[in-house]
Chains A and B, each alone.
Chain A
């Protein structure tokens, strides 16, 4: 599922990403799009707690896409 949280500041992007990972329980990847740099520090540490791995890519200025992949499906 795609989570567009542009315009939101801490802690909402992180809370919404966690909510999504909790709801999907590893059945689907979560793609978070944000323009708030501090999210790069707050969202990744949450991934392993819910059985996800993460990848961060800069997709704009300033815009980042954090892809949260279910750990089983990663490889």
Chain B
């Protein structure tokens, strides 16, 4: 029991650190995808690539320790290797469209909720409703679609092994970096020059400047990406990669149970890692609770230190509808893909799963469609 308590305390610390990092670096997966199409900026997507590179090295080491011989039809425990197929594409399209419509993905809405963005609270409510709809209809999706979809894990494919899978993943990350740079050059986007502050001379000034850089001024996105990648590795070392929709699914299920509409026992989920809501993980202070709800105080702490907390109410009532509708679509998408931009993408690519790449492509497609829509909403 003492060991369990220690793990839980560590996961709480990591949840807080993740929330703090998201808030400080204003890390936004929705912007990363959307800004590619909105104004040809790859700044945030490059930060995500850096985070993926950091996490991939760590995940490979953890998975190799658990399953030394890849290719024996055995997946490492907890790895986010998810089914690859129509559910991945449909889930990614819905999620990508929803996050652009609402202005933030699930993790983005979580840390913005803690910064006082009221619209993000509405988005999260939409996400929980969407996840509830999938929970009620899961067995239909499973039998007609997901049950036949393979869980493709790179080290077990074509005799790649860990070294081959790492090489393939890094080649793909490098190629993505080159494509993003070409995309930026083509669109002519200009990075803003860094604003130079007053020179720091004395010890006191230097300390004040360091404090300011960490706790007041926002971090560069690339720093946020690298730190989040590191947090992911430590989370997996302790127990599991990062995911947030599993916990929100549990909330949806608990609410429906209270209302007398308990969702049916889901088929197939016991063999799937990631953000599948597992029965044994119930309880308010479970592992997924700590790394999901922990984001809130972590982000609030960051916002308070930087004096960035403020209750912000959208003045345009249409924004509430966008948040709820976008949240609902994200819930449906994350339910089908068994994870959001964190669980099915940011934790999946480092798990050396094909599903992470396919989900990312579908997110890009959904974001492209979302951009066409928000351009028409004043």
Q: Spell out A's residues near B (CB within 8 Å).
A: 6-11, 14-15, 35-38, 40-42, 44-46, 48-49, 54, 56, 61-62
Say which size band chain B's interface belongs to.
35 or more
Set B31, B35, B190, B191: member contacting A49, Cβ < 8 A: B190
- Which 10 pairs between the two chains have the least Cβ-Cβ distance? A61-B307, A44-B192, A62-B308, A9-B103, A7-B315, A38-B26, A7-B314, A45-B190, A45-B192, A48-B190
Q: How far is the CA of A46 from the CA of B188 in the complex (A)?
A: 10
Q: Which of A6, A7, A48 has the most CB of B within 10 A?
A: A7
Q: How far is the CB of B42 from chain A (nearest CB, A)?
A: 12
Task: Assess the B39–A41 pair: CB atoms within 8 A.
Answer: no
Task: Assess the B310–A40 pair: CB atoms within 8 A.
Answer: no
A-B contact pairs, 7 of them (CB 8 A): A6-B315, A7-B314, A8-B316, A14-B38, A15-B375, A38-B28, A42-B39
Task: Assess the A9–B35 pair: CB atoms within 8 A.
Answer: no
Q: How far is the CA of A54 from the CA of B193 in the complex (A)?
A: 11
* Other 12 A-B pairs with CB < 8 A, given A7-B314, A10-B31: A8-B319, A9-B112, A9-B117, A9-B119, A14-B38, A40-B218, A41-B43, A49-B190, A54-B192, A56-B195, A62-B306, A62-B310
Q: How far is the CA of A61 from the CA of B309 in the complex (A)?
A: 8
From residue 210 to 239 of chain B, which have CB atoms closer than 8 A to chain A? 218, 221
Q: How far is the CA of A42 from the CA of B374 in the complex (A)?
A: 17
Q: How far is the CA of A61 from the CA of B117 in the complex (A)?
A: 14
* Chain B 175-192 near chain A by CB (<8 Å), digits 1 or 0: 000000000000011111
Chain B residues with Cβ under 8 A from A14's Cβ? Answer: 38-39
Q: How far is the CA of A61 from the CA of B218 in the complex (A)?
A: 14
Set B31, B189, B195, B375: member contacting A38, Cβ < 8 A: B31
Task: Assess the A9–B34 pair: CB atoms within 8 A.
Answer: no
Given contacts A7-B313, A37-B26, contact A46 B39 (CB under 8 A): yes
**Cross-chain pair count, CB within 8 angstroms:** 73
From residue 3 to 56 of chain B, which have CB atoms closer than 8 A to chain A? 26, 28, 30-31, 34-35, 38-39, 41, 43
Q: How far is the CA of A44 from the CA of B193 in the complex (A)?
A: 9
Residue of B nearest to A38 (CB): B26
**Is B312 positioned at the interface, with any CB of A under 8 Å from its CB?**
yes
* Chain B 239-262 near chain A by CB (<8 Å), digits 1 or 0: 000000000000000000000000
Q: Spell out B's residues near A (CB within 8 Å).
A: 26, 28, 30-31, 34-35, 38-39, 41, 43, 103-104, 112, 117, 119, 188-192, 195, 218, 221, 306-310, 312-316, 319, 374-375
Q: How far is the CA of A44 from the CA of B28 in the complex (A)?
A: 18
Set A9, A45, A54, A61: member contacting B308, Cβ < 8 A: A61
Q: How far is the CB of A68 from chain B (nearest CB, A)?
A: 12
Task: Assess the B310–A11 pair: CB atoms within 8 A.
Answer: no
Chain A residues with Cβ under 8 A from B375's Cβ? Answer: 15
Residue of B nearest to A62 (CB): B308
Q: How far is the CB of B74 from chain A (nearest CB, A)?
A: 43
Chain B residues with Cβ under 8 A from A36's Cβ? Answer: 312
Chain A residues with Cβ under 8 A from B38's Cβ? Answer: 11, 14-15
Q: How far is the CB of B121 from chain A (nearest CB, A)?
A: 13
Chain B residues with Cβ under 8 A from A35's Cβ? Answer: 310, 312
Task: Assess the A10–B192 pair: CB atoms within 8 A.
Answer: no
Residue of A nearest to B189 (CB): A45
Q: How far is the CA of A41 from the CA of B190 in the complex (A)?
A: 11
Q: How far is the CB of B370 from chain A (nearest CB, A)?
A: 10
Chain B residues with Cβ under 8 A from A45's Cβ? Answer: 39, 41, 189-192
Q: How far is the CB of A22 from chain B (nearest CB, A)?
A: 13
Chain A residues with Cβ under 8 A from B310's Cβ? Answer: 35, 61-62
Given contacts A14-B39, A42-B35, contact A37 B308 (CB under 8 A): yes
Residue of A nearest to B323 (CB): A9
